[in-house]
Amino acid sequence: MSIYRIAHLSDPHLPPPPGAFGLSDVFTKRLLSRIAWRKKRKIHRPEVLAALVADMKAAAPDHVVISGDLTNFASPAEITAARAWLEALGDAADHTISPGNHDALAGPGGHERFAIWSPWLGDAGEASFPQVRVRGPVAIFNLCSALPTAPHLATGRLGTEQLQRLDAALADPAHAERFRLVVLHHPPHHGAVSKRKRLEDQEALRAVLAKRGADLVLHGHAHEALVGSVRGPGGAAIPVLGVPSASAKPSRHAPARWHQIEIEPRPEGGHAVRVVARGLSETGTEISELGRFILADLATRAETA
């Protein structure tokens, strides 16, 4: 059986375009982020992101998942510029975007702010969540944990309605034999990030996953390469993987990395999954392979850690 390859990258933090910050933003949370960006722009480098994207494109994955934080201030100019960047990646049907907290930093709180990204959110043609995209042997459950927060907070929340819809989608028998991939920006497990950055309703999400199951959860937000797990039906471990920022040069956070997730249906049922990590080393200046891992081994290691 053929192998289906999904590329996962996150937190590109694209350079703010002209007009990304206006006088009216002085009275919003965008002012704090603009001040913070003076330091962060030395870490989030466009040349690093370009090299990572070129490496990913050379691998020719079947589908690309980007788990949020395309922008820094969530300004209309940034949201529009991010769409242009997405268009340059390729066909929107081959790319799924889960918005991050920086993409909802200030302004209206509803998902309609992401309407301009609708072709990359799912196949419904609208900014709604969750959306389910069936691609090859994979069903991608795209969630949105992004919402405006108070200064110095970077928390996320899914909300009751989105969780109820996720519960129903995961229970749909049409996806029972597929590899069920859940994507969101904030990590769903304890200890991945500090309290001020956590997913506020992570317990409710974990309850849905424990009831309905999934094969893998992908996230960003932590700017680190993280391996974790949450419990599925019967106590089985569901692996959780996070990647560092796709634009980060070596610094106090992990350098840029992307994961190629190779999914191969087994004749007897289920899927064999291998993860290939590619990115910058702590001292390197070129994108290279960093390691290969079997998903089942990662889940076992995370469960016993």
pLDDT digits (tens, 9 = 90+) for 95-127: 999 999 999 976 666 788 899 999 999 999 999
Place of tokens 């969750």: 130
pLDDT per position as a tens digit, 219-261:
999 999 999 999 999 999 999 999 999 999 988 789 999 999 9
Residues facing residue 274 across a β-bridge: 262, 294
Strands 226-231 and 237-242: antiparallel
Residues facing residue 131 across a β-bridge: 142
Beta carbons of 288 and 278 less than 8 angstroms apart: yes
pLDDT band at 23 (very low <50, low <70, confident <90, very high): very low
Structure tokens at 172: 């749909």
Tell me: pLDDT of 299 over 70: no
* CATH number of 260's domain: 3.60.21.10
How many structural domains are present in the chain? 1
Tell me: pLDDT of 298 over 60: no
- Whole-model pTM? 0.93
DSSP one-letter code for 144: -
Q: Which domain holds residue 259?
A: 4-16+23-304
Q: Residue 302 and residue 144: Cα distance in Å, rounded?
A: 25
Structure tokens at 182: 């859940």
- Count the neighbouring beta carbons within 10 Å of the beta carbon of residue 223: 23
Strands 63-66 and 4-9: parallel
Residue type at position 115:
A
